[in-house]
Structure 1
Amino acid sequence: MQTLISIADFIRWGASRFSEAGLFFGHGTDNALDEAAALVLGALHLPPDLPASWFGSRLTAPERQRVLDLIQRRIDERRPLPYLLGEAWFAGMRFHVNEQVLIPRSPIAELIEAGFAPWLEPSPAPQILDLCCGSGCIGIAAAAYLPESRVDLVDISADVLQVAEQNIAEYGLQERVTSYPSDLFEALPDNRYDLIVSNPPYVGLAEMEELPHEYRHEPVLALQANENGLEIVQRILKQAKRYLTPRGILIVEVGNSARLLVDRYPQMPFVWLDFERGGEGVFLLSAADLAE
């Protein structure tokens, strides 16, 4: 390993080892080279948009050992990289994660970066609800990109909300972001929201059994929803209209369960959103759509 000196050296070598090992990528990257870059930069506490001029920088002996150890663990354990690093990047922001929470990777990040335009009605202080919040990445990023907004985070798991609270504090958003332990809407105050957004569990039993090994490290509670994957989504559809303002909107990610959802609700006017960076299975409905 004495020939591995620079950041670029370790990224190249790591990518080769990952390809050789046949790893699966899907927790922030989709190929061996990007995964190796994320690992090396994360291990060195450097940002993912590091200037190219830095890639020739030499690693110290402790840094080399840390990178090598992480590369070997990624191969041996098939554990998703964000869990090894304890962090994930979402909408250009760093979030603390552990194996209690789903790893942030939703295409909804694109909507957040655009301020949910053109869908969210202009408002001096939009009220936003993030259902099944996990690490809080969606709601916290929304609060950061919409600085006048107030955001509520909801999750059924107290352990998960501890991670979300850590991320709220990380960005100093305690005055505008509040977390609630609740089974969807059950323990919420009687609030009305301009936007309800959710990345709920939506994986069915058959799909769950076919997931690559890397996904087995994520909490089942955050992935699987009954046999067909629609239980939580159906509850959201049934209850959301009570919590939306008259011009409010509902945005929900359902992934591969999209076709089954359309078959189940053939009259529902789902708007399926497109994403420049890839991703699918995210629908939008207005309060008026749900009322009908």
Structure 2
Amino acid sequence: MTVTAPPELNTVRDWLRYAVSRMRAADVAFGQGFVDAYDEAAYLVLHTLHLPLDRLEPFLDAHLSGAECRAIAQVLDRRVTDREPAAYITGEAWLGPLRFKVDSRVIIPRSHIFELMQDGFEPWLDDMAEGPGHVLDLCTGSACLAIAAAHYFPEAQVDAVDLSAGALEVAALNVADHGLADRVELLHGDLFAPLKGRRYGLILSNPPYVTDDAMAALPDEFQREPAMALAAGADGMDIVRRIVADARTHLNPGGLLLVEVGHNQAETEQALPDLPLVWLDTPSASAPVFLLRAEDLG
């Protein structure tokens, strides 16, 4: 369908203002890479115009061609009217400086574990003088955490597991794009099932943890993501329980397990009452990730 661009919008500044206004008026949902209308509007406008994503100011008063205006109008219609997430429109998402290909086969990368990784998980890995050695990323999706681990721990080998064959197809594209085929191995299977005999210094997981009630209330944008990457039963702990139950078999002595559970601290503590969970804060959230040592798992 052809989308008509308002004729009075001529510059990047005009379109940025218009995009913010449309998003706010339509009450679109954020949280899939962007936290507000301005940042997401700037990204969509710059990406559509093939301009540098970190240099808005020099282009604000540039006059746009009719074709450029129509292209932005079409993107905004997909975002506002169709409620398509920005990352699926552009085919990319970012964690810090790392770019990943994405489409509707994978959840859009966003992770509190990544925030912690930028400091090398200090002080928790301080006892590993040579790093974690072998890292596992469970429920890898686009392989964003696996690839990030390979970047932040350059001596590590990384395994990445997902149950979705479609997600692993996207993950393979990202592993190739980052030149990590020799260090990141993708495995298809249900959690630890394809990992018999393998052990790790560090296991990471951003698993499904959305409760049934929360799934029913998700905004349209989040309903576009694969349900299997989000839904985790009545209390959101279906996958977390299984990860914790089997992790000890795959951790080296002194190894660490880090699991992201978002706002589900209370549900996690209720589901795992006998474990000494260590809750980790990030710059953007309070206690979205818990840590367990191998020895804590019995």
On whether the aligned pair clears a TM of 0.5, the verdict is yes
* Aligned mate of 2:18, from 13, 37, 40: 13
Matched, 1:169 2:169: no
Q: Which residue is equivalent to 1:179?
A: 186
Q: Kindly tell me: are residues 36 and 280 of structure 1, through their superposed partners in 2, closer, same or farther at Cα, counting changes over 3 Å?
A: farther
Separation (CA, whole Å) in 1 of partners of 2:56 and 2:45 = 14
Matched, 1:156 2:163: yes
Aligned residues: 291
Code of the aligned partner of 1:204: T
CA contact (8 A) 1:91 1:112 kept: no
Q: Which residue is equivalent to 1:196?
A: 203
Q: Which residue is equivalent to 1:272?
A: 279
Q: Which residue is equivalent to 2:236?
A: 229
Separation (CA, whole Å) in 2 of partners of 1:288 and 1:278 = 27
* Aligned mate of 1:95, from 100, 107, 117: 100
Matched, 1:137 2:144: yes
Q: Kindly tell me: are residues 17 and 275 of structure 1, through their superposed partners in 2, closer, same or farther at Cα, counting changes over 3 Å?
A: same
Q: Taking structure 1 as the reference length, what is the TM-score of the superposition? A: 0.93
Q: What secondary structure, in the 3-state scheme, does the structure 1 residue paired with 2:187 have?
A: strand
- Structure 1's unaligned 5+ residue stretches are none
Separation (CA, whole Å) in 2 of partners of 1:267 and 1:17 = 49
Separation (CA, whole Å) in 1 of partners of 2:104 and 2:179 = 24
Code of the aligned partner of 1:5: N
Separation (CA, whole Å) in 2 of partners of 1:216 and 1:280 = 25
CA contact (8 A) 1:200 1:253 kept: yes
Code of the aligned partner of 1:255: G
Q: Kindly tell me: are residues 129 and 36 of structure 1, through their superposed partners in 2, closer, same or farther at Cα, counting changes over 3 Å?
A: same
Separation (CA, whole Å) in 2 of partners of 1:278 and 1:46 = 32
Separation (CA, whole Å) in 2 of partners of 1:193 and 1:51 = 43
CA contact (8 A) 1:107 1:280 kept: no
Separation (CA, whole Å) in 2 of partners of 1:278 and 1:49 = 25
Q: Which residue is equivalent to 2:3?
A: none
Q: Which residue is equivalent to 1:23?
A: 28
Q: Which residue is equivalent to 1:209?
A: 216
Separation (CA, whole Å) in 2 of partners of 1:279 and 1:6 = 41
CA RMSD of aligned residues (A): 1.8
Code of the aligned partner of 1:117: E
* Aligned mate of 1:108, from 89, 109, 113: 113
Q: Which residue is equivalent to 2:259?
A: 252
Q: Taking structure 2 as the reference length, what is the TM-score of the superposition? A: 0.92
Separation (CA, whole Å) in 2 of partners of 1:259 and 1:32 = 31
Separation (CA, whole Å) in 2 of partners of 1:231 and 1:289 = 20
Matched, 1:63 2:68: yes
Q: Which residue is equivalent to 1:118?
A: 123
